[in-house]
Structure 1
Amino acid sequence: MHRTEKAALQPDPATPPRADAPGGHAPARLDAATAEAQMTSAAVAPLEIGAEPSTESRQPAVDVQASAHGETRYLMGDLCSYLDSYLPPEQVAECYRAYLFGAEAHEGQKRKSGEPYIYHPIAVTRILAEMRMDHQCLIAALLHDVIEDTQIAKEQVALTFSQEVAELVDGVSKLTQIDFKSRAEAQAASLQKMLLAMTRDIRVILIKLADRLHNMRTLDAMSPEACRRISRETLDIFAPIANRLGINSIRVELEELGFAHYWPWRRQVIQRAVHKTTGARVEMVGMVATALKRVLQQEDIEGQVEGRRKHLYGIYRKMRDKSRGFSELLDVFAFRVTVDRVDTCYRVLGLVHNLYKPVPGRFKDYIAIPKANGYQSLHTALVGPQGIQIEIQIRTEDMQRMAESGIAAHWMYKSGSQHGSSPTALAADWLQNLLEMQRQAGNSVEFLEHVKVDLFPGEVYVFTPKGRILSLKRGATVVDFAYAIHSDVGNRCVAARIDRRMAPLSTPLRSGQTVEIITAPGARPNPGWLTFVVTAKARVNIRGHLKNVKSREARVFGKRLLNAELSTFSIDIDGVDPIRLATYLEDAKLRDVDELFDDIGLGNQLATLVARRLVGVEGEEAPSSPIGSNDIHPHRLAIRGTEGMVVNFARCCRPIPGDDITAVFSPGRGIVVHRTECRNLGSLESKRDKRLNVEWSNEPEGEFATEIRVEISNRRGALAVVAGAIAEQGSNIDNVQTLEKDGMMTDIDFQLQVRSRAHLARIMRRLRLIPLINRITRVTRS
């Protein structure tokens, strides 16, 4: 093709083709080869943004085509025609200019299907245009892959269009310039970047959802392995995000496409069952729809009645979650009644309850109490003709629009609604939670796991004492409720009243309850809470607090360890040569000496080796007794029992003050203290370089767990007698486990809290006085 022929195909960047252009004829339909030429022709000659093109090069608009995979393909001319319906001409021209910029940037690139890459950004933009997004968002959609997949830099996008567009494009782009240890880490980091960009501008996630939707529509071109991986990610992350933002139309399609590619055989089975059921119940569906319309007409209520079948993934998920077969799901068919006002919704509810009998416990008022994503509707289940259960949803036209488009329907460029139950306000609350989770999470993988937990909407609605309604995930406890109010309330909660009655913090909540949290100034989160909390906000705050506490404890403990080793050289950390210390920190890639203390306290570095490096005797024997020696050494580390989470007492032998002890370094946990006669120490002989000489301090503090086994006659009330004797000696029983030996004797394992070996000896002497007891031993587990 000659240069003049290329120029003739290049569209006008300033004046996009329009379907209603003068000439009075519809745009011509081009074949695939011509369409491809027109789509890529703009990239043949260098594109000079801002230059006035020749009006002689203008070509007719390109019409809709079908791709090789059966997907409807919208070309640029058709997109511009659609944009004309709600955007002013100058903004449509800007979108067309972005298309030309993207066409040049993606020149020569092909999708897996073999078609020009520029088809993909146009399809993504079309999805957003159908959501009536603003022109800046559409420009960013046309350019959403130029930073990631081409040589175009963010600064160039900002210079050519605007900083706002550049930030949107950058927020959608993956992290491709950083090397990650695994695909999972790279995926988590990219998703974290996208979600945090979303907190600054919600349009980032709208573009990403449209991008993922078009990728799912064209997934057949990918390998089977890639199909499953992308479908799994779609079902785990993107469909729940669409649901969380209330964009039902995108959510349903993402779920259906993900289901089709990840579980194709399951989908086929359910599809056949639904088709079989549909064929048998077509008459029933028509009968119910006719009855509903007749009732509305009789009451002079204007409304629309639609019968629909629930989508396949929704049916599958209900079967899986409730462990039911398809035949047990009676509400496969649903009807939607759309009216003009809220009060009419409640009138229609009364009419349908008079028409068919409601199923007890199956009515939900999401108008008075909207879902977490702003969804509003009345849901009721009825026993229809032939005893078949049907579901009816009653809502206004505004509610229907919100249900389909969610936050996009409340976009600030169009409506600016910010009332408390609007998708915009609810999304803002969720985004604030994301920011808090990001601050508390240790890394991108942990952050992503918290987001996954948080993506599934709550189904429990509880009240604060002032009447505020909070929506929580099913199974949420009092602690989850406390953190939902505020992080500080959760961190300081000590008790609660549920409906004015005292209740444990682990109590699961039910809808309709009123919960009052009792706090104390000095209270702190308990690690045990992690065993029962279910919300991401509670989990991430508890973990974040424990990490901070552990870090502080590790720093103090690490300094003690290092000073104990340095004392063998008659110095402490303050006496170390500053140049030698700085050199060591640089070699170890540590920021400062506090980070060194952290590493030592957490067991990531051995204090002995660090001390030798710092005094310059690396490789030589330190002037101390050999590690593992039983000789009394003046520089043994004293265990006080107050070291917190950086010193752990082995559960196999459960050492207590008075026992001969030794310790083993465990990276990330600090040190683990064992009794010297513990059988499990034999497996650590190959790691003697990680052993540490320790001893109990003169006055250890607190109580320590230990375990004893009591062989007792199998008589009524024997357990109560033993428990009473233990209580007499001032010990608490943490756990009891019964191991029946035969009909005559029973072994009972008691986990006790004692202050010292002497305290345990007193307890055992007292138990030996009980005639029923045959033998008492201290338990060591392998």
Structure 2
Amino acid sequence: MTGFEFKIRKRDIDTLIEIILRENPDADIAMVKKAYDVAAKAHEGQVRLSGEPYIIHPLEVAITLAMLRLDTITISAALLHDVIEDTQYSFEFIKNEFSEDVAMLVEGVTKISSIKSRSRSYAQAETLRKMLLATIKDIRVIIIKLADKLHNMRTIMFQPEHKQIRIAKETLDIYAPIARRLGISRVAAELEDIAFYVLNREDYEYIKNSLAQRQNEIENYIENVRQIITKKLQELKIEVEVKGRAKGYYSIYRKMAMSGKSLEEIFDVRGVRIITRDLKDCYAILGIVHSIWSPIEGRFKDYIAVPKSNMYQSLHTTVIGPEGFPLEIQIRTREMDVVAEMGIAAHWAYKEGGKIAKADYKNLSIIDSLSDMNLDSMNTRDFVSTFKLDLYEDEIFVFTPKGMIVKLPKGATPVDFAYAIHTEVGNTCVGAKVNNKMVPLKTKLKSGDIVEIITSKNGKPSESWLKFVKSASARYRIRNWLRKHNEDINKQDDELKKKEEKKKEIKKASVKIPEDEQLKIKNISGNGKVGVSIEGNSNVLIKLAQCCQPIPGDEVIGFITRGRGITIHKKSCPSLERLKIESERFINIIWDKDDSNKYPVKLAVEAIDRPNLLKDITDEISLVRCNIIKAEAQLESRDKAVLRFILEVKNNDHLFDIMKRIKKLKNVTNVYKINEKVVLK
């Protein structure tokens, strides 16, 4: 792996102590030194693939955590994180020599690292599960593991090529997304870039070289922007720090791949960050920036009012900057900037003793959803399929009718929303309103939508929901309910299948074939499974064409298919044009006078919306003894209602009578038959 920037760093315990004291002069240095001495003795004689002494690895992990301003308990645990796994020292030894907190952290990291059995895919899934189980107890376990992975990636060039690829994929699949979801962007960006280099060196080099060629141009551009903003804000006596914002190579590549844009079209290659002291100044600065340059519509995001689930807060806006280039600007306070760089790790900055309440990070959706799941009882395959999607999600923000904000993954549906409110709301959900309009449960929600869930005591989850829900917690709860009720569901399915089969067996079409045409059907086989029989010719299969949906009263003609019996079309059906090349296969059909059969037709009603509209229409339909198989209603504009029905009718006269009655109703503007496939569910 030659040519990559990372090299073995020659740093020692003095480097670590210096970084800790620079950030926190009151830190417990004695414990850190003791942890280093124990680790150095435990790993004495061990070497890494690079040939360097093994102690360099835990030292580098500890230095990364010190740079993230973690407390000395975490740093000491990082120095000792391989001691239980690779040496003779035990949990009890570390607990007695240091503290229970240090021992618990070391044990948590050890449990993650010790999964080496079964297949690689199993080991990877089990690693993820163990890591997240440990996270519920103390999130510092996962922070240590991320720092451990970072140093292993920095020295990945010493691994064989096939292992480099496997490790890099695992990093992009698991570790980098977790770092992102915990808000530790500094670690996430470095993990992504190294993995990107290993897996896609050509694109990595292209982006790197392209940015290098434009480096002076971009730096001069950013410096010009910095001076314009600083000068304007100084005039208004607002104290700020304005700096350019470096973006990772993988982050740029991912944006290019997802948007289909070239490097030149990516907005935030040119970007600045404005750091201020007070929250109120953030919004004042935003107004000033928009007075200097015109904002691009749809490119403003307020993550201060509605923080991301990883606690990230900032104002984002994209403007048409100098020379007409898009310029992304982020505005936040110093505290927000620390959290943006370090995420959850910021909660341990300068805090000795590690006494951090879980309330400090309970708003992390990744932690919140984990706490609600019984991970111990889930098998590995279910766990991965349920949870892994949560690592990659973008977010939307929707509202309850009372104005409460609910965070959901991008592409979430009303079902996701229902389960985010409460498990019982999800389990009894039967419908939803979005912005006061009824919508299907699979509707994708957008930020700003107001969502109301309609529940019923008879409501229950459907297996089909698993095809469109996006959140891991909703998926988990639906599966959980389905497992508990699986036996009942199987019984119901069997009963439904029997009913459907019975329907197919007894259904007949009331048509007959004139005697002079019956010679044409002598060679038609009755072995096909699709279709219904003609009376008097039980060995001949027929079916009514779905393209035109003929019913008694329509002028019809039959077409002899190859091996599938006869299909009956209206004589006006457009499909007959393409069948004319085999005109010898046409056969005359006559409707029988049998009124006992019913035929499904699809009917549409357009009307100006009003109270009781649906009730009045269904009342008219029932008066003519017509069965309604299915009904749908929706508003297509402010007051235009469209209602669609699947009805069972005897013939054309029956259908025309229904249509005539509906047309007389108040506010009805149009009634017509829809010629499309009738699907009965």
TM-score normalized by the length of structure 1: 0.63
The CA deviation string for residues 725-760 of structure 1, in whole angstroms up to 9 with x for no partner, is xxxxxxxxxxxxx996862489xxxxxxxxxxxxx9
- On the 8 A contact 1:533/1:539 being kept in 2, the answer is yes
Change (3 A) 1:491 1:411: farther
- Which residue of 1 is the match for residue 367 of structure 2? 431
Q: Out of 458, 480, 484, which is 1:522 matched to? A: 458
- Which residue of 2 is the match for residue 643 of structure 1? 491
Q: Out of 212, 237, 241, which is 2:178 matched to? A: 241
Separation in 1 of the partners of 2:27 and 2:284?
47
- Which residue of 1 is the match for residue 351 of structure 2? 414
Shift of residue 116 of structure 1? 1.0
Partner amino acid, structure 2, of 1:383: I
- Which residue of 1 is the match for residue 400 of structure 2? 464
Matched, 1:335 2:272: yes
Q: Out of 155, 173, 197, which is 1:218 matched to? A: 155
- Which residue of 2 is the match for residue 78 of structure 1? 15
Separation in 1 of the partners of 2:21 and 2:117?
44
Separation in 1 of the partners of 2:174 and 2:33?
32
Change (3 A) 1:290 1:528: same
Shift of residue 269 of structure 1? 0.9
Partner amino acid, structure 2, of 1:346: Y
Shift of residue 403 of structure 1? 0.7
Partner amino acid, structure 2, of 1:643: K
Shift of residue 85 of structure 1? 4.3
Matched, 1:204 2:141: yes
- Which residue of 2 is the match for residue 273 of structure 1? 210
- Which residue of 1 is the match for residue 109 of structure 2? 172
| Aligned-partner SS, 1:524 | coil
| Aligned-partner SS, 1:481 | helix
- Which residue of 2 is the match for residue 357 of structure 1? 294
The CA deviation string for residues 701-728 of structure 1, in whole angstroms up to 9 with x for no partner, is xxxxxxx9735497xxx3274899xxxx
Q: Out of 743, 765, 768, which is 2:578 matched to? A: 743
Change (3 A) 1:359 1:745: same
Shift of residue 117 of structure 1? 0.9
- Which residue of 2 is the match for residue 487 of structure 1? 423
Q: Out of 190, 193, 208, which is 1:253 matched to? A: 190
Shift of residue 84 of structure 1? 3.8
Partner amino acid, structure 1, of 2:466: L
| Aligned-partner SS, 2:122 | helix
Change (3 A) 1:740 1:532: farther
- Which residue of 1 is the match for residue 476 of structure 2? 540
| Aligned-partner SS, 2:578 | coil
Change (3 A) 1:168 1:499: same
Partner amino acid, structure 1, of 2:156: L
Shift of residue 189 of structure 1? 1.4
| Aligned-partner SS, 2:118 | coil
- On the 8 A contact 1:98/1:143 being kept in 2, the answer is yes
Matched, 1:98 2:35: yes
Change (3 A) 1:412 1:79: closer
- Which residue of 1 is the match for residue 132 of structure 2? 195
- Which residue of 2 is the match for residue 581 of structure 1? none
- On the 8 A contact 2:128/2:174 being kept in 1, the answer is no
User: Which structure 2 residues correspond to residues 670-749 of structure 1 after superposition, within 5 A?
Assistant: 710=543, 712=545, 718-719=548-549, 721=551, 743-744=578-579
Separation in 1 of the partners of 2:259 and 2:294?
24
| Aligned-partner SS, 1:379 | strand
Give the gaps of 5 or more residues in structure 1. 1-66, 555-641, 661-676, 680-707, 725-737, 747-759, 771-782
Shift of residue 459 of structure 1? 2.6
- On the 8 A contact 1:437/1:447 being kept in 2, the answer is no
Structure scoring higher RCO (CA < 8 A, sep ≥ 6) equals 2
- On the 8 A contact 1:371/1:457 being kept in 2, the answer is no
User: Which structure 2 residues correspond to residues 383-402 of structure 1 after superposition, within 5 A?
Assistant: 383-402=320-339
Partner amino acid, structure 2, of 1:159: N
The CA deviation string for residues 191-219 of structure 1, in whole angstroms up to 9 with x for no partner, is 21121011011110111111111111111
- On the 8 A contact 2:184/2:341 being kept in 1, the answer is yes
Separation in 1 of the partners of 2:416 and 2:474?
6
Change (3 A) 1:447 1:340: same
Separation in 2 of the partners of 1:358 and 1:178?
51
Separation in 2 of the partners of 1:498 and 1:440?
36
Shift of residue 349 of structure 1? 0.9
Partner amino acid, structure 2, of 1:321: M
Matched, 1:326 2:273: no
- Which residue of 2 is the match for residue 285 of structure 1? 222
RMSD: 3.8
Separation in 1 of the partners of 2:443 and 2:501?
34
Change (3 A) 1:440 1:475: farther
| Aligned-partner SS, 2:252 | helix
- On the 8 A contact 1:246/1:402 being kept in 2, the answer is yes
- On the 8 A contact 1:358/1:380 being kept in 2, the answer is yes
Change (3 A) 1:121 1:282: closer
- On the 8 A contact 2:68/2:346 being kept in 1, the answer is yes
Separation in 2 of the partners of 1:152 and 1:111?
20
| Aligned-partner SS, 2:459 | coil
Partner amino acid, structure 2, of 1:332: V
Change (3 A) 1:379 1:69: closer
Q: How many residues align?
A: 542
Partner amino acid, structure 2, of 1:103: A
- Which residue of 1 is the match for residue 565 of structure 2? none
Percent identity of equivalent pairs = 40
Change (3 A) 1:272 1:740: farther
Separation in 2 of the partners of 1:202 and 1:261?
29
Change (3 A) 1:248 1:709: farther
Separation in 2 of the partners of 1:217 and 1:83?
22
Change (3 A) 1:303 1:241: same
- Which residue of 2 is the match for residue 376 of structure 1? 313
- Which residue of 1 is the match for residue 620 of structure 2? none
- On the 8 A contact 1:196/1:435 being kept in 2, the answer is no
- On the 8 A contact 2:124/2:170 being kept in 1, the answer is no
Shift of residue 135 of structure 1? 2.2
Partner amino acid, structure 2, of 1:145: D
| Aligned-partner SS, 2:271 | strand
Change (3 A) 1:354 1:649: same
Partner amino acid, structure 2, of 1:719: Q
The CA deviation string for residues 361-393 of structure 1, in whole angstroms up to 9 with x for no partner, is 111111111111111111111111221111011
| Aligned-partner SS, 1:643 | helix
Give the gaps of 5 or more residues in structure 2. 507-526, 530-540, 555-572, 582-595, 601-647, 653-681
- On the 8 A contact 1:460/1:473 being kept in 2, the answer is yes
TM-score normalized by the length of structure 2: 0.72
- On the 8 A contact 1:336/1:393 being kept in 2, the answer is yes
- On the 8 A contact 2:23/2:350 being kept in 1, the answer is no
- On the 8 A contact 1:304/1:338 being kept in 2, the answer is yes
Matched, 1:130 2:67: yes
Q: Out of 442, 445, 449, which is 1:506 matched to? A: 442
Separation in 2 of the partners of 1:156 and 1:417?
22
